[in-house]
């Protein structure tokens, strides 16, 4: 065993000071501030059965080898570690080995929103027999978490994940009806994710995913809404631009059990999502379309920006169909502002 490998092997059984000393002496790891902070945080909070090898792999985005420094000059940061996707994957790996920490899936946020559309949809009210329209102003929030079911399946770069996303629409200003929740949509999900670095047309394909998702508002009778889909998702990057293309296929139900047989005519068969990441701010575009029947669909614009530490400001604009399941066939024109606890990148 070489001196460098022996140092790394011994490092797995020592405490943090010895590990950092060994890392410095071998020169095997790129010495970036982000890497040092990652190691420090994990060594302080990781479970006792987590090895330094696990932590090192997490902090260095496991699949990327790091070459030894060729000279006394500081080692250059590998291109992979300049990517926002790599940073997110490394941070997700870090939370997975820390007890009592849940890993975010989709963004987690809470916003005050205003719907500029003036329509009456009694089915969307908490009491279906009411005819009074909903308030234009409400509070929207989303909670989304995930966890790894099986990492490195069969010693490959393919991982199995499960997730749950809750999105709620709270009529907090409707004091006459005791400020009810107008709608709450539930979205459990199971998918395979494979990490790649395939180059094509100047783009780098980072993730290929395939999964199953169920979406429901958990209600019964005339206000029940639900559907099941299988999907594929390909995520690309180029510089500070990141985008994904996600087509899906609905799993058909028996006609007597189908609460919303025409949902595809409004939510379509795919979605496109793009993000531009610059100076710790994210500018997002979300788009879906039926590509037929009047080109129904939706567009959403996002802006997430740092405010203080991990707290981020958030501005969201949505126009189109399917903001919530109860309103899948009603057009919404909505602007919201609030805070984001976690972002895509």
Q: Residue 149's pLDDT band (boundaries 50, 70, 90)?
A: very high
**Mean pLDDT value of segment 252-276:** 93
For residue 124, give the nearest of 182, 184, 185 by alpha carbon.
Answer: 182
d(CA 219, CA 221): 7
Pairing between β-strand 203-216 and β-strand 226-238 as defined by DSSP bridges: antiparallel
Residue with tokens 């020592």: 14
Residues identified as active-site: 214, 216
Q: Taking Cα atoms as reference points, which of 147, 164, 114, 163 lies closest to residue 315?
A: 114
Task: Name the pLDDT band for 32 (thresholds 50, 70, 90).
Answer: low
Q: Where in the chain is the domain with CATH 2.40.230.10?
A: 103-342
Total-model pTM: 0.77
What is the band of 176 on the pLDDT scale with cuts at 50, 70, 90? confident
Residue closest to 241 by CA, chosen among 116, 171, 344, 124: 344
Q: How many CB atoms lie within 10 A of CB 43?
A: 16
Alpha-carbon gap, residue 285 to 276, rounded angstroms: 9
Pairing of strands 297-308, 226-238: unpaired
Q: Which residues pair with 242 in a beta bridge?
A: 237, 275
pLDDT at 307 over 90: yes
Q: What is the CATH number of domain 103-342?
A: 2.40.230.10
Q: Is the separation of the CB atoms in 313 and 323 below 8 Å?
A: no
Query: What is the pLDDT averaged over residues 24-33?
Result: 43
């Amino acid at each position: 065993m070489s001196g460098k490998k022996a140092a790394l092997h011994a490092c797995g059984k020592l405490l943090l000071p010895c590990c950092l000393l060994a890392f410095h002496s071998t020169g095997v790891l790129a010495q970036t501030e982000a890497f040092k902070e990652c190691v420090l945080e994990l060594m302080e909070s990781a479970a006792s059965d987590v090895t330094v090898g696990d932590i090192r792999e997490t902090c260095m985005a496991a699949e990327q080898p790091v070459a030894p420094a060729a000279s006394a000059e500081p080692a250059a940061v590998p291109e992979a570690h300049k990517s926002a996707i790599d940073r997110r994957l490394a941070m997700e790996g870090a939370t997975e080995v820390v007890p009592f920490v849940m890993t975010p899936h989709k963004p987690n946020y809470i916003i005050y929103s205003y719907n500029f559309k003036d329509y009456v949809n009694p089915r969307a009210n908490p009491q279906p027999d009411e005819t009074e329209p909903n308030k234009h102003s409400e509070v929207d929030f989303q909670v989304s978490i995930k966890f790894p079911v099986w990492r490195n399946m069969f010693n490959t770069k393919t991982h199995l994940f499960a997730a749950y996303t809750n999105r709620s629409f709270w009529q907090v200003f409707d004091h006459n009806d005791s400020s009810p929740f107008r709608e709450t949509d539930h979205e459990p999900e199971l998918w395979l994710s494979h990490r790649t670095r395939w180059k094509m047309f100047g783009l780098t394909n980072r993730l290929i995913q395939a999964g199953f998702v169920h979406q429901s508002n958990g209600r019964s009778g005339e206000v029940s809404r639900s559907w099941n889909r299988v999907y594929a998702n390909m995520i690309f990057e180029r510089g500070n631009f990141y985008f994904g293309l996600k087509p899906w296929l609905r799993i058909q139900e028996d006609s007597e059990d189908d609460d919303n047989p025409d949902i595809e005519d409004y939510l379509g068969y795919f979605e496109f999502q793009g993000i531009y990441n610059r100076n710790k701010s994210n500018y997002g575009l979300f788009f879906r379309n039926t590509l037929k029947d009047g080109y129904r669909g939706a567009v959403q614009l996002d802006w997430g920006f740092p405010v203080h530490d991990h707290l981020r400001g958030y501005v969201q604009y949505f126009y189109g169909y399917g903001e919530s399941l109860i309103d899948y066939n009603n057009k919404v024109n909505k602007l919201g502002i609030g805070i984001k606890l976690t972002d895509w990148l």
